């Protein structure tokens, strides 16, 4: 059967029920599925701010529907921010630091190569911190005299995020008077729509405050607070103002953005402080406006701006299309008491990844909610961030990400050339222009094959020559670099040293032949060869020689170990924390070089002997579940997916997966979606059962539109 027929057949929308094995004709009730998991809050919960966004722009609100209590949320839970993926700032570079200034020489295989691993040198510190994400304005309620509201002032809270429409509805009382706030984001522009209704507006006792921060306090590594110091170091200029509108230009050094506010009725606008504006209606109980952000300066034509009603209607249409057109999984009817919670996590994770992963630059690990690692993208996370979109029938989000990789391909080629490699060597931690950031980062290699694997997922969804031609340069340049990173030792091809494996605990200068990475090299080169054949090209002889003579996956005493050069995984408890990455060779990947019996013993050893409490990440649980599913152990897959006796596997009322030191960690959400797609939708060679990754007893799994994993 041809690729076209095989994959088209596999991605047909199916509705299956696991407990009986009988196919059902009734489609999933998608509005009911989504809306039964709409977050609803009755009290202030700093771990559950709710967000609205369009993938490129995001607004995160507290229970007031705005950003009224940023200090409490930021210090006790998850920060309240407005972010756009296009908004960046760079400090002055008077010393002219360049990447090679952070180099350290590594000698291996008869040659010496400089890698920028000196993160704490003056050059390394500047290059890591620049460019950095630049937050947008903060929008919250104030009393009419400009004084702050207290949390005790907010009573009778009833807040709900309607994910079917992408609208946040917040109701409460202040001083015994009702307040309602409706908040939504345009799917097409970086525009926030707000409708506030309260008698307190008419009496002048309630107002809105818009404040533009200098940036982040970058002395704090993760989740830095907004920086309100040095007001003279940035400027906010009023470009235009009328009775119903306000246009601003905010500038810091060479960075600038425009802000345009357009109201439905006349406004009273005052400036209580530098970079701050107090806004209230001239009369009436309603403050109805849109707030648009755009990169660069100058005037925004707010006269032609969409109204609040327009944005709310556009948001509703967008989200209904989103939920109707992608895949869906319904666990209702399951007798396992954990099923409802898993379904909640799945629905919320779809929403959270969609509002934060649709931009023209791939996300940071905290998306558009908070800042981590200066807002930079970690390319080894791109698979966990975006692979699920292809599996869930929403490939456009993955396509957005790959467009950035295509755009920065020349930079990746320059990195490869600087290290004596062919093709394109992808940076690990990078800002929007693709420059590497110093640290251990440049020695990570498991980011490299992702481009091939992700392109293959897109091809499986749209198996056409057009898809091949669109991504072939990306695939072949990536494979060329992978090929030239291998070394012949006289008997076999080896990977490293130097390198930093996915389990980030081993000496980078001596590490050689990590199991997961070896399997990924074999998979990536094999897929690249398939792309050549599909395009009518001959096999690349060098790739084929390397693939067939690659080192075996390292093992000891009948179990796989993390790395051949230090095979102490099962001898040293200190080597049993962080990611058990060797499991990914048969889980995320289809198992190139894997002996299933050895992997079965290895999985059991991880589940019984891994140090889950010292350090493990949110995406590790779904990753381990994927391995269990491929080993025909669905009960273990579900148990580890919903494991409660370890850290970093909880999900807040808003759907976030906090990890140690990181209140928002979106790789956990993305990995959960990838694992559930695989367990419910299958994989190549899966048992011929409906939802083969779930137990046949206790789970009723109805799935529509999922694409199987390779």
Average pLDDT over residues 370-399: 97
433/556 same-domain check: yes
pLDDT digit string, tens, across residues 76-95: 999 999 999 999 999 999 99
Q: Sheet harboring 167-174: ordered strands across?
A: 40-41, 154-162, 167-174, 177-185, 191-197, 286-295, 255-263, 245-252, 235-241
Res. 298 pLDDT band, cuts 50 70 90: confident
Nearest alpha carbon to residue 151 among 55, 75, 224, 45 = 45
Res. 15 pLDDT band, cuts 50 70 90: very low
62, pLDDT greater than 90 = yes
Out of 322, 355, 371, a domain closes at: 322
pLDDT at 365: 96
Q: Are 223 and 372 in contact (CB under 8 A)?
A: yes
Alpha-carbon 437 to chain mean position: 19
Domain presence at residue 658: yes
Out of 294, 322, 350, a domain closes at: 322
pLDDT at 440: 77
Q: Give CA torsion, residues 152, 139, 223, 41, to 10 deg.
A: 50
Could you tell me the two tokens for 297? 């300066």
pLDDT at 25: 47
CA torsion through residues 61, 65, 68, 69, sign: negative
pLDDT digit string, tens, across residues 171-198: 999 999 999 999 999 999 999 999 999 9
131, pLDDT greater than 50 = yes
How far apart, in whole angstroms, are the C-alpha atoms of residue 190 and residue 295? 10
How far apart, in whole angstroms, are the C-alpha atoms of residue 327 and residue 393? 6
> Total domain count for the chain?
2
Specify the range with the lowest mean pLDDT, choosing from 131-140, 296-305, 514-523, 682-691. 296-305
pTM (two decimals): 0.95
525/409 same-domain check: yes
371/497 same-domain check: yes
Domain presence at residue 40: no
pLDDT digit string, tens, across residues 355-378: 999 999 999 999 999 999 999 999
4, pLDDT greater than 90 = no
Res. 241 pLDDT band, cuts 50 70 90: very high
Q: What angle do CA 33, 38, 44 make, to 5 degrees?
A: 160
What is the three-state SS of 224-268? CCEECCCHHHCEEEEEEECCCEEEEEEEECCEEEEEEEEECCCEE
Res. 600 pLDDT band, cuts 50 70 90: very high
Residue 193 sits in a domain whose CATH number is: 2.70.98
Average pLDDT over residues 197-205: 98
Phi-psi region of 684 (alpha: psi -120 to 50; beta: other; left: phi over 0): beta
486/394 same-domain check: yes
Average pLDDT over residues 298-321: 90
Domain presence at residue 690: no
pLDDT at 26: 87
Close Cβ partners of 494 (under 8 Å, ≥ 6 residues apart) = 486, 487, 488, 512, 513, 551
455/315 same-domain check: no
Close Cβ partners of 3 (under 8 Å, ≥ 6 residues apart) = 459, 463, 534
299/393 same-domain check: no
Domain presence at residue 495: yes
pLDDT at 7: 38
How far apart, in whole angstroms, are the C-alpha atoms of residue 390 and residue 458? 6
pLDDT at 10: 39
Domain that holds residue 202: 57-88+129-322
Residue 363 sits in a domain whose CATH number is: 1.50.10.10
351/291 same-domain check: no
293/367 same-domain check: no
365/307 same-domain check: no
pLDDT at 641: 98
The residues with which 659 forms a beta bridge, in sequence order, are 662
Average pLDDT over residues 374-392: 97
346 sits in which H/E element: helix 339-356
Res. 302 pLDDT band, cuts 50 70 90: confident
pLDDT at 19: 41
Domain presence at residue 518: yes
How far apart, in whole angstroms, are the C-alpha atoms of residue 376 and residue 128? 9
300/348 same-domain check: no
Res. 221 pLDDT band, cuts 50 70 90: confident
Round the average pLDDT of the chain to a whole number and report it. Answer: 95
43, pLDDT greater than 90 = yes
Q: Are 381 and 667 in contact (CB under 8 A)?
A: yes
366/435 same-domain check: yes
Out of 322, 357, 390, a domain closes at: 322
Instruction: Quote the percentage of the chain above a pLDDT of 90.
Output: 93
251, pLDDT greater than 80 = yes
304, pLDDT greater than 50 = yes
């Amino acid at each position: 059967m041809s690729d076209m027929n095989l994959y088209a057949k596999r991605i047909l929308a199916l509705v299956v029920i696991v407990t009986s094995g009988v196919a059902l004709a009734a489609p999933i009730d998608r509005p009911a599925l989504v809306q039964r998991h709409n977050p609803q809050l009755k009290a202030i919960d700093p771990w559950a701010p709710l967000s609205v966004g369009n993938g490129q722009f995001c607004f995160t609100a507290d229970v007031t529907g705005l950003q009224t209590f940023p200090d409490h949320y930021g210090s006790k839970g998850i920060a309240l921010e407005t972010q756009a993926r296009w908004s960046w700032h760079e400090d002055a570079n008077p010393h002219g630091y360049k990447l090679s200034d952070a180099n350290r020489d590594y000698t291996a295989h008869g040659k010496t190569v400089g890698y920028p691993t000196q993160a704490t040198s003056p050059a390394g510190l500047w290059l890591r911190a620049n460019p950095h994400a630049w937050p947008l304005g903060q929008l919250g309620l104030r009393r009419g005299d400009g004084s702050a509201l207290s949390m005790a002032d907010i009573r009778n809270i009833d807040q709900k995020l309607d994910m079917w429409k992408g609208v946040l509805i917040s109701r409460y009382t202040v001083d015994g008077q009702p307040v309602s706030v409706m908040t939504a984001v345009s799917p097409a522009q970086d525009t926030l729509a707000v409708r506030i209704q309260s008698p307190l507006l008419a009496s002048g006792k309630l107002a809105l405050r818009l404040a533009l921060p200098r940036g982040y306090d970058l002395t704090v590594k993760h989740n830095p607070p907004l920086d309100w110091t040095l007001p003279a170091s940035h400027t906010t200029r009023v470009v235009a103002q009328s009775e119903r509108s306000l246009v601003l230009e905010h500038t810091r050094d060479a960075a600038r953005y425009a802000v345009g506010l357009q109201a439905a009725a006349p406004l009273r606008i005052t400036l209580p402080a530098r970079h701050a504006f107090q806004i209230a209606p001239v009369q009436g109980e309603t403050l109805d406006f849109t707030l648009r952000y755009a990169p660069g300066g100058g005037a925004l034509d707010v006269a032609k701006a969409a109204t609040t009603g327009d944005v709310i209607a556009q948001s509703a249409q967008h989200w209904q299309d989103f939920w109707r057109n992608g895949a869906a999984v319904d666990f209702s009817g399951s007798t396992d008491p954990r099923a409802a919670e898993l379904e909640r996590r799945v629905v919320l994770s779809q929403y959270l990844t969609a509002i934060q992963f649709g931009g023209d630059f791939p996300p940071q690990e905290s998306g558009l909610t908070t800042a981590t690692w200066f807002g930079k993208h970690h390319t080894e996370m791109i698979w966990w961030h975006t692979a699920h979109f292809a599996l869930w029938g929403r490939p456009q989000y993955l396509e957005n990400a790959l467009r950035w990789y295509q755009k920065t391909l020349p930079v990746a080629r320059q990195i490869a050339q600087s290290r004596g490699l062919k093709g394109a060597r992808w940076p690990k931690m990078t800002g929007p222009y693709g420059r590497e950031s110093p640290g251990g980062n440049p020695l990570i290699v498991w980011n490299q094959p992702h481009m091939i694997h992700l392109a293959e997922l897109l091809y499986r969804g749209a198996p056409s020559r057009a898809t091949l031609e669109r991504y072939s340069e990306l695939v072949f340049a990536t494979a060329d670099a992978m090929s030239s990173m291998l070394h012949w030792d006289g008997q076999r091809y080896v990977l490293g040293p130097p390198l930093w494996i996915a389990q980030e605990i081993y000496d980078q200068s001596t590490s050689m032949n990590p199991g997961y990475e070896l399997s990924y090299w074999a998979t990536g080169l094999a897929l690249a060869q398939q792309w050549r054949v599909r395009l009518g090209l001959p096999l690349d002889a060098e790739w084929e020689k390397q693939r067939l003579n690659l080192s075996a996956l390292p093992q000891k005493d009948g179990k796989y170990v993390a790395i051949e050069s230090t095979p102490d995984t099962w001898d040293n408890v200190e080597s049993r924390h962080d990611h058990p990455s060797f499991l990914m060779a048969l889980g995320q990947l289809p198992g190139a070089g894997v002996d299933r019996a050895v992997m079965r013993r290895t999985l059991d050893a991880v589940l019984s002997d891994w140090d889950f409490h010292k350090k493990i990440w949110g995406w590790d649980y779904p990753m381990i579940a994927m391995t269990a599913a491929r080993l025909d152990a669905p009960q273990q897959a579900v148990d580890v997916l919903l494991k409660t006796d370890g850290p970093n596997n909880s999900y807040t009322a808003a759907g976030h997966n906090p990890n140690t030191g990181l209140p928002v960690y979106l790789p956990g959400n993305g990995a959960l979606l990838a694992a559930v797609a695989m367990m419910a939708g299958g994989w190549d060679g899966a048992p011929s059962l409906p939802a083969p990754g779930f137990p046949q007893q206790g789970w009723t799994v109805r799935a529509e539109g999922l694409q199987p994993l390779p």
